[in-house]
Structure 1
Amino acid sequence: MKNLRINRKINPRLIVNFFAQELKLLAFIFVLFLTLNYILLFLSLKGQINISVNKPAPQDIIVPATISYIDETKTAQAIENAKKSVKPLYKYDANVEIEVQNNIVNFINEINSVKEDSTITDSEKLSSIKEICNNDSKIANLLFEIKTDKLNFLKNFIANELNNLYKKGLRDTELSDVIKSIEKDADSLGLNSNDKLIISWLVQKFVKPNFIYDEDATDKAIQDAVKNVKPVVVVLQEGTKIIEKGQKVTEEDIKLLEKIGLYKRFSFFTLSLLFFLSIIEGTLAFYIVHDKKKKLQKISEYFTLLALVLVASYSLGSFSIYTIPALLFLIMVNEFFSFRDVLISTLIFLLNLLTFISQPLFVLLVFLSISIPIVYYINKTKKISSYFVSSIIGGTFVSFVVFILNKNFSLPNQLSFSNAFYSFLNFMFSPIVAIAIVYIFEHIFNEATFLRLLELNDLNTPLLKEMSVKAPGTFAHSLFVANISSQAADAINANSLLARVGALYHDIGKLLYPFYFTENQTDIANIHNTISPSLSKVIIINHVKDGIELAKRYRLPDDIIHFIETHHGKSVIMYFYLKAKEVDPNVSMDDFRYPGPLPDTKETVIVSLADAVEAASKSLGNEEIDYRKIEELVNRLVEDRIKQGELANAEITFSELEKVKVSFVKSLLSIYHKRERYPDGK
């Protein structure tokens, strides 16, 4: 409800300071990533053999573990062979033969018509024939001199020849052969050279192929052939000797060692590339933490998790790329950050792996594409069992996918099974290992992760157990508020577990002086009737400060402490203020106001409202327990909070607030519902 905030003039200096702080944070994150990338680079360079091109190898270079890689040269050659194997494709055009035959007949008829025209002279006839023949004088003279019967004979001869040829199919590449075939048949009939010249000229002028080259179909066939080409995978078994001691090292040897990850060149280009990658990684990480409250702590958490997994990946990756714990990293990020941050972290993780992983990254892409749905499932279900279910399902599925992909690359069965088994172990144990690491880190960084919240939700924790004994009324109130808060949080898709735990601990400050609070005064008189309103005010207000100190002593997460300090916001203890005003009309209302801060998240707003609603609901009599009365009570309390500005910083919309109110009403009605009196007083 940020639209309730009072507009203030923007201070330019504050804006400058804000951007300066953000820029410093971005620079700090960049330096962290640059340092990490260079450390990983030097680690990968430290263990490799010192070799140079055209110099003898100082020792035997042996493959430490079975490695497979794609041979780009052989794959490119296979693609080229596949392209060459595709023959040109043609499409048949039945109209071509009819068109060619008609054109030849029309041409000869036109020649005959000119020759038989008695109205013009022979020179005019020759001129017209020459024009019809496109100014070919030699052919024009032959056509002028040939007799009409002979020309018609040639026409019929050509028609028969073309009829036979078109039945077989004629392509553009076969036209020269067609001319030779017709000339050979003309020889067998005893035709003279002039006749054959006329025939050849007519064939060259009019004949077209009836099978036309289909460029689109041919291109598609080539593309299909290329798609069917599998990458040429070379498998180097463990113990394979690549270079013998004393053998002169070639550039090809260096490239092979680079490909399988046994050698890395140290160059200015490598340093520049890592510098550029660090900028991208730092920017993405900055985007993850820039909107968090404790930015430095959050980047410390993120960077520690990332560095831990990258070091593990460096060690495990030398054994097999299929053991790199991508799922482990994403699950841990999901615990300390949001699912949106998990998606961003996939790219950061991949970019960091480029520092020391030389093998094809398709395996990691497969791992990450399977890991994201698993993390989403864990994030949505919010159950401990989700980790174990995901480990079994994820491990089985990824091993199946890896085996299919390995076989698709024509890897040996033994290697395919080994890679699938490593993948299964990777995904099987990642969620379990993540639980252990998260448990350690959540206590180190004092974070309210899902696992930590589950732990704090246990009513047998020391603080809650002490509250149930020393302040049973407060304990019952907190449990009540926790129940209706979690239901309201579910109604607006907020973090219901966080709201529940925050509500359980929001009043722990009352443990110090439990009998000064009415819910704990069951068998004793109200102590506040015997002391001044000012002293009562101090004790009541101090339960917030006492609660914060007690929470810190028990190392409760800051997110839980935030519920303690915000559940009363800056509201006024109206009862004692009015009581003090009876004695001193000039008493200030601000003296009876809680110090704040105001609730600023959906969860803290819900708990703050639930606390007020639960307390006010105790004033309802049995005859007032109906939907309308409870709804009026809830609406009045929420409206009062809005008017007092208590929700000015809240990240909650009016539509969400309506859903919260409806949830409160349903919860209160289910708890305070009327019961029918048993007959005969039973």
Structure 2
Amino acid sequence: MKNLKINQKIKIDLKFVFSNFKKEIKLFALIFALLLILNYTLLFLTLRNQMKIVVNKPAPQDIVVPATISYIDEAKTEEAIANAKNSVKPLYRYDSNVEIEVQSNIANFINSILSIKEDSTITNNKKLELIKERCNDDPEISNILMEIKTDRLNVLKNFLTNELNSLYKKGIRDSEVSDAIKSIQRDAESLGLTGNDEVLALWISQKFVKPNFVFDAEATNKAIQDAIKNVKPVQVVLQEGTKIIEKGHIVTEDDIKMLQKIGIYKAFNYATVGLLFFLSLIESALAFSIIDEKKKKFQKILEYFALLTLVLLSSYFLGNVSIYLIPVLLFLIVMNEFFSFKDVLISIIIFILLLLPFLTQPLLFLILFSAISVPIVYYINMTKKISSYFISGIIGGISVTFTVFFVNKNFYLPNQLSFSNSFYSFLNFAFSPIIAIAVVYIFEHIFNEATLLRLLELNDLNTPLLKEMSIKAPGTFAHSLFVANISSQAAEAINANSILTRVGALYHDIGKLLYPFYFTENQADVPNIHNTIAPSLSKVIILNHVKDGIELAKRYRLPDDIIHFIETHHGKSVMMYFYLKAKESDTNVSMEDFRYPGPLPDTKETVIVSLADAVEAASKSLDKEDIDYRKIEELVNRLIDDRIKQGELSNAEITFSELEKVKVSFVKSLLSIYHKRERYPNGK
């Protein structure tokens, strides 16, 4: 029996896992299909406006540049680099040891010949043999040396010494060795060294003379590289309206390459289809990581792709004016309102991948815009103020203007084009935050989302619902405001969403508006109605304030995230007062009849509001004249610990360490409100 139960449990678990896997596959397939449609739609728009051009056939009309663009002419740049290389002359390194070595070798050679000739202990045949060894077995030179007189050899040695001194002072390069030898020959003739003397001078020079200026390959290569670095890429600027190909001109392959290079013409082939399919897969994987962790997946897909489509179409049309008008910052700001900051970072990659195949200019500007946009979005995300939108527009506009101008000049663009690109970039970043406010306003009302802007709007105490509450249910209004204050402080303590927590707290009890006097906080001047009615009826009225609140919130189109605070602020707790009162007359009454239906709070923000609601209500029972830190701390600890024991926080994404911080925050907030006041003379 036990094994049967285990097997059944395994089957149930596998069925659950398989069911989840099927859902994820369907979700991924939907995302992939939508991204594939987006990619091919952009391709269609690009090809639709592209005239039909066929190689070896006349152009159907004049082809002109639709907007001022620039590109690097690689052929001319390569030509400039080749010219720079050729302009560098070979560099030589002076070696002072060469002259010493050559002079020494010549002197040693002549001295060795003299020594052999003057040696009386050996025969002439032996002398000739030894001389041949030193002359590399050259018979002619050996015989001349054998016959020449000693004084003529000394004259020859002195002549060569003087000649080489003169030549080495001027310097001898590799290519100049033969010229140096010819110079020695001419000088020998002019000094009367003829016949065998001239032959010996020429032979010795050829044997020993070598250059003292040696080719320096390393220095020459460095000079070539420096020359190449100084070559500016040949930047070609085509002004708007410039005619590239005239009507009737026979189109060549080079024409097609030129049009592709400047982005006017895009080839459509199987490679393009395959590339877009592959990019769609990558984009889908990234988008899936964003959507899969969201609760309302289908709505989030609609939001994501509605925004993506809007921005991509804007990019397509604005890009025809200038690529520096592509609204990267606008996209990221709006994304940040509907998704997390982490999702914003992932979406940058998706956005770049979507535009990549259709850009007419380098990718650098898109990466540059993204790098400047991320800190701006982070600033808006952290400050949570309307003013941050306008401040970020000013700062972003100035930053991107100088950055784009600097980068353009670094790529050697003309001043006029650099100023133009910088101006478009300024307009883009300065006005994107303002336009983002309008886009967010439209999207948040269409999808009923609790964006920062919507929360700031709902946080206004003069909104119709809160104003009505302050008039019809002033006690509930004061209670909600109290809960909002201590909740938002607790949310800040654990880095939760403080503005969402505050707004959720302000509206959590709007259901009491229908029957305000049935709730204690609104019974200041009237008897407690619950003393005159049955506990079962009281239970229904109290329970219904949650249901009434949800209906009222939907009627006023409050965001679902705010409605979630209304339905979870009591969780599944028991109305203990009315349960005990009912038990007095009927011992068989069930506790479950007096339990709120839930659901349980499941986020840090809803947990905080639920606890703050209970803490505020319980704090009313404290004796204001005998209150201190210990009593407030005991009250807060008891209430939160009871909620934990009752399982009210079992679904919550909150840790025990975070709960401790929430407790400390609640105690500080209550103590600041209920602190003892010193008595002054005359009761003041």
Coarse TM-score class (shorter-chain normalised): 0.7 to 0.9
Alignment of 1:245-260 (within 5 A): 245-260=247-262
Whether the aligned pair in 1 keeps the contact of 2:535 and 2:579 (CA below 8 Å) is yes
The equivalent of 1:201 in structure 2 is 207
**Cα offset for 1:385?**
1.4
The equivalent of 1:77 in structure 2 is 79
Q: Structure 1 stretch 560-569 or stretch 60-69: which is displaced more?
A: 60-69
CA distance in 2, matches of 1:608, 1:164: 103
Alignment of 1:400-411 (within 5 A): 400-411=402-413
- Per-residue CA shift, 1:82-129, capped at 9, x if unaligned? 344444556666666667777777788888889999999999998888
Say yes or no: does 1:37 pair with 2:39: yes
User: Residue 174 and residue 484 in structure 1: after superposition, are their counterparts in 2 closer, same or farther (change >3 A)?
Assistant: farther
- Per-residue CA shift, 1:191-225, capped at 9, x if unaligned? 4324432332233xxx575656253x555544444
- Out of 207, 213, 226, the position equivalent to 2:216 is 213
Whether the aligned pair in 1 keeps the contact of 2:102 and 2:208 (CA below 8 Å) is no
The equivalent of 1:359 in structure 2 is 361
CA distance in 2, matches of 1:84, 1:320: 39
Say yes or no: does 1:27 pair with 2:33: no
CA distance in 2, matches of 1:136, 1:579: 135
Say yes or no: does 1:567 pair with 2:573: no
The equivalent of 1:192 in structure 2 is 198
**Cα offset for 1:301?**
0.9
The equivalent of 1:594 in structure 2 is 596
User: Residue 247 and residue 667 in structure 1: after superposition, are their counterparts in 2 closer, same or farther (change >3 A)?
Assistant: same
The amino acid across from 2:258 in the alignment is: L
Whether the aligned pair in 1 keeps the contact of 2:128 and 2:143 (CA below 8 Å) is no
* Percent of aligned positions that are identical: 75
Q: Structure 1 stretch 629-638 or stretch 610-619: which is displaced more?
A: 629-638
Q: Structure 1 stretch 418-427 or stretch 474-483: which is displaced more?
A: 418-427
Unaligned ranges ≥5, structure 2: 1-8
Whether the aligned pair in 2 keeps the contact of 1:374 and 1:390 (CA below 8 Å) is yes
**Cα offset for 1:498?**
0.9
**Cα offset for 1:479?**
0.7
The structure with the larger Rg is: 2
- Out of 42, 53, 56, the position equivalent to 1:54 is 56
CA distance in 1, matches of 2:551, 2:121: 127
**Cα offset for 1:235?**
2.2
Whether the aligned pair in 1 keeps the contact of 2:601 and 2:651 (CA below 8 Å) is yes
Whether the aligned pair in 1 keeps the contact of 2:303 and 2:447 (CA below 8 Å) is yes
The amino acid across from 2:45 in the alignment is: L
Alignment of 1:144-293 (within 5 A): 190=193, 191-203=197-209, 207=210, 211=214, 213=216, 215=218, 218-293=220-295
TM-score (norm 2): 0.87
User: Residue 661 and residue 214 in structure 1: after superposition, are their counterparts in 2 closer, same or farther (change >3 A)?
Assistant: farther
Q: Structure 1 stretch 608-617 or stretch 157-166: which is displaced more?
A: 157-166
Alignment of 1:587-626 (within 5 A): 587-626=589-628
- Out of 418, 421, 433, the position equivalent to 1:419 is 421
CA distance in 2, matches of 1:109, 1:654: 102
**Cα offset for 1:472?**
1.5
Say yes or no: does 1:670 pair with 2:683: no
Whether the aligned pair in 2 keeps the contact of 1:37 and 1:355 (CA below 8 Å) is no
Whether the aligned pair in 1 keeps the contact of 2:106 and 2:204 (CA below 8 Å) is no
Whether the aligned pair in 1 keeps the contact of 2:574 and 2:595 (CA below 8 Å) is yes
- Per-residue CA shift, 1:551-585, capped at 9, x if unaligned? 22221111112222222233333333444455555
CA distance in 1, matches of 2:238, 2:645: 74
User: Residue 331 and residue 518 in structure 1: after superposition, are their counterparts in 2 closer, same or farther (change >3 A)?
Assistant: same
**Cα offset for 1:520?**
1.9
**Cα offset for 1:187?**
5.8
User: Residue 184 and residue 535 in structure 1: after superposition, are their counterparts in 2 closer, same or farther (change >3 A)?
Assistant: farther
User: Residue 392 and residue 591 in structure 1: after superposition, are their counterparts in 2 closer, same or farther (change >3 A)?
Assistant: same
Say yes or no: does 1:553 pair with 2:555: yes
CA distance in 2, matches of 1:114, 1:353: 89
User: Residue 321 and residue 198 in structure 1: after superposition, are their counterparts in 2 closer, same or farther (change >3 A)?
Assistant: same
Say yes or no: does 1:439 pair with 2:473: no
User: Residue 524 and residue 186 in structure 1: after superposition, are their counterparts in 2 closer, same or farther (change >3 A)?
Assistant: farther
The equivalent of 2:300 in structure 1 is 298
Over aligned residues, Cα RMSD in angstroms? 3.5
**Cα offset for 1:248?**
1.4
**Cα offset for 1:673?**
1.8
The equivalent of 2:655 in structure 1 is 653
User: Residue 584 and residue 408 in structure 1: after superposition, are their counterparts in 2 closer, same or farther (change >3 A)?
Assistant: same
- Out of 344, 347, 355, the position equivalent to 1:345 is 347
**Cα offset for 1:442?**
0.5
- Per-residue CA shift, 1:20-72, capped at 9, x if unaligned? 22222112111111111111111121122222111112222233333333322
- Per-residue CA shift, 1:390-446, capped at 9, x if unaligned? 222322332333334444444444443333322222222211111111100000011
CA distance in 2, matches of 1:569, 1:390: 41
User: Residue 85 and residue 295 in structure 1: after superposition, are their counterparts in 2 closer, same or farther (change >3 A)?
Assistant: farther
CA distance in 2, matches of 1:180, 1:321: 68
CA distance in 1, matches of 2:230, 2:335: 39
**Cα offset for 1:162?**
6.0
CA distance in 2, matches of 1:157, 1:590: 128
CA distance in 1, matches of 2:143, 2:379: 89
Whether the aligned pair in 1 keeps the contact of 2:96 and 2:212 (CA below 8 Å) is no
- Out of 477, 480, 484, the position equivalent to 1:478 is 480
The equivalent of 2:3 in structure 1 is none
CA distance in 2, matches of 1:173, 1:573: 108
**Cα offset for 1:245?**
2.0
Q: Structure 1 stretch 135-144 or stretch 260-269: which is displaced more?
A: 135-144
Paired residue secondary structure (2:321) = coil
- Out of 501, 507, 510, the position equivalent to 1:508 is 510
CA distance in 2, matches of 1:143, 1:279: 90
Alignment of 1:351-390 (within 5 A): 351-390=353-392
Whether the aligned pair in 2 keeps the contact of 1:346 and 1:368 (CA below 8 Å) is yes
Paired residue secondary structure (1:69) = strand
Paired residue secondary structure (1:68) = strand
Paired residue secondary structure (2:649) = coil
CA distance in 2, matches of 1:263, 1:40: 14
The equivalent of 2:6 in structure 1 is none
User: Residue 275 and residue 177 in structure 1: after superposition, are their counterparts in 2 closer, same or farther (change >3 A)?
Assistant: farther
The amino acid across from 2:20 in the alignment is: F
Whether the aligned pair in 2 keeps the contact of 1:154 and 1:199 (CA below 8 Å) is no
CA distance in 2, matches of 1:357, 1:635: 60
TM-score (norm 1): 0.87
Paired residue secondary structure (2:394) = helix
Paired residue secondary structure (2:358) = coil
Unaligned ranges ≥5, structure 1: 1-7
User: Residue 161 and residue 376 in structure 1: after superposition, are their counterparts in 2 closer, same or farther (change >3 A)?
Assistant: farther
The amino acid across from 2:451 in the alignment is: T
CA distance in 2, matches of 1:143, 1:634: 122
CA distance in 2, matches of 1:110, 1:586: 136
Paired residue secondary structure (1:11) = helix
**In the comparison of the two structures, how many residue pairs are matched?**
670
Q: Structure 1 stretch 585-594 or stretch 111-120: which is displaced more?
A: 111-120
Indicate the structure whose relative CO is greater, using CA pairs within 8 Å and at least 6 residues apart. Answer: 1
Whether the aligned pair in 2 keeps the contact of 1:183 and 1:200 (CA below 8 Å) is no
The amino acid across from 1:288 in the alignment is: I
